[in-house]
Amino acid sequence: MLQIEHRESFDVDIFVDDPQILPYLNPQTQGYELEINADGYMSDGTPALKIVFDNIGEIDFIVASQIVKVPSAKPRVDYHAFFAGGIAHDPSSIEGDLSSGQ
């Protein structure tokens, strides 16, 4: 969303194409031990799972079929401008090779 100057978000949306995997992603029903425990889980029968972390954000797993021929593209991000914008003060805290833009 950086390309279109979308609002800053603290949520993560992960799209999957098979609703059968949602139960396996739910820490509450699978007994996963997390370093930070979620404050809530929402799964109301719709093809989605929301894991809520108060004061941190949410992770949404959403079931959706592919609607375009090429569903994703690898964006090029100007990491220097990204970090200078106050989003992160220490680029070395992010894993990966930031200097190559990959």
The model carries a pTM of 0.55
How far is Cα 30 from Cα 27, in angstroms, rounded to an integer? 5
Please state, in angstroms and as integers, the Cα–Cα distance from residue 32 to each residue in 18, 48, 65, following that order. 21, 19, 27
pLDDT in tens, 2-32: 555 666 677 888 888 888 888 888 887 888 8
Q: 3-class SS at 35?
A: coil
Confidence of residue 55 (pLDDT cuts 50, 70, 90): confident
- Residue owning tokens 């799972």: 49
